[in-house]
Amino acid sequence: MKLDKFYINGEWVSPSKEEKIDIINPSDETVIGTLNIGSKEDIDKAVEAARVAFVKYSKISVPERLDLLKEILNHFEKRFENFVEAITTEMGAPVKLSRTAQAAVGMNHLKTAIRVLEEHKFEYDFNGYIVRQEPIGVCGLITPWNWPINQTISKLGPCLASGCTAILKPSEISPLSANIIAEIMDAAKVPSGVFNMVHGLGPVVGEALSSHKDVDMMSFTGSTRGGVAVAQAAAKTVKRVSQELGGKSPNIILDDEKFEQSVSIGVQKIMENTGQSCNAPTRMIVPKTRQDEALEIAKSVTEKLITGDPTQEKTDIGPLVSQTQFDKVQRLIDSGIKAGAQLVTGGLGKPTGVNAGYFVKPTVFGSVESSMEIAQEEIFGPVLSVISYEDIDHAIRIANDTSYGLSAYVCGGDVDKLRDVARKIRAGQIHINYGSGGTNAPFGGFKQSGNGREKAEWGLEEFLETKAIMG
């Protein structure tokens, strides 16, 4: 397949330069197509289209925007299985995860954007003056490969709901699903220039978008290193920057009757999506007196998971997305071994019998110290670090001993106690007994996990400027 067109100003257009990269299936390392990548010139064209379109689109009524979002949702539902296939092909997500989570959550973001737009008051009286919210302008959206539909629609839905126009730069690693999004925008007859998409590399297209004088806001999801680069480029024009970055989420397990269940589910959560989720509970913090029990449970659960062909319904764990990710995960597993952590299961190399594809062994480490690299660096693979605590205050200190603060987990039988612990953890989302707010809860991080919030009302307000009219 050839992805040789960008979507700019309501048309599929050829790039300004002829430069291609291979699209690789991570399950078998075969080249399945080529992707044309863009340049600053392509970004200039997309920004110009978005700037012109903003003048009219920012002024259309809420009912008109609602009709547009509902039409997009209609086409999304028609293409749902295409998304499932694309995600499984381009990043190796097991097909059952692609269907029940990856694509499904993306669709739910659209439904939430519609609900929020129906309910939001863009102008209201307050203490004798008028508070008014208006669309911020032209928005650059840079999205990752690990949850490509989820993260794209969580930005694009509220962006369009707000009255802003968009230039999407999807990850070059997951271009198939991004192209389907562009096809949906075209089929839904989104006004020309309101949605634009340019494929390309971060240091070229991402930098050009972030630094562009006519872009009013950047919304970025990716690594902390990438977020810093976007912020530095954006600083030249003092534009708003919203960042959802890396994580190293703690999972505090209390010493009570729910211990076995809490550990078991926690292991499954870290292995989901092959560990390639920024909010994965990668640090399991357990009572010192029950560490051996936790490791036995973790070993048993891990070794029952099926690693293999992601197109098969029985598969639990697919490949990592690329050779780069494979090499990184191998290096960090080796780091854990050399640091003296207890290798409970997994380890270096590919699973037995696997010759092709970026597959790794699901790995569990015990007796991990907070100072170890595997406890501090985001691994982005199916690797769990189990750390022991003396008492709950010690557990909280371990949880907060990280430069990240995206998500955290607290598990046990006493909900009041769990909530008390949750209040003391510096992270943007705290999951009690793996509870989730879905697409209706604010999502974003403390510290080096970023700034700003996505989803629901909070996601909409990222794309709005607030104006006070007095007198």
Token code pair at residue 324:
């780069």
CA–CA dist 447, 27 (Å, integer)? 35
Is 244 catalytic? The answer is: yes
Q: What are phi and psi of 365, to 5 degrees?
A: -110, 140
Q: Is 49:57 a contact under the CB 8 Å cutoff?
A: no
Burial of 104 (0-12, 13-18, 19+ CB in 10 A): middle
* DSSP secondary structure letters along 160-199: HHHT-EEEEE--TTSHHHHHHHHHHHHHTTPPTTTEEE--
Helix (H) or strand (E) holding 2: strand 2-3
The CA-CA-CA angle for residues 102, 107, 112, to 5°, reads 125
CA–CA dist 175, 145 (Å, integer)? 8
Q: Is 3:175 a contact under the CB 8 Å cutoff?
A: yes
- Which is the catalytic residue, given 278, 377, 378, 454? 278
Which residues 6+ apart lie within 8 Å of 451 measured at CB?
241, 242, 243, 444, 445
CA–CA dist 265, 284 (Å, integer)? 11
35 DSSP β-pair partners: 3, 21
- Name the nearest CA neighbour of 385 among 423, 328, 343, 445: 343
- Which is the catalytic residue, given 90, 172, 207, 244? 244
130 DSSP β-pair partners: 125, 469
* DSSP secondary structure letters along 9-61: TTEEE--SS--EEEEEETTTTEEEEEEE---HHHHHHHHHHHHHHHHHHTTS-
Q: Mind telling me the catalytic residues? A: 244, 278
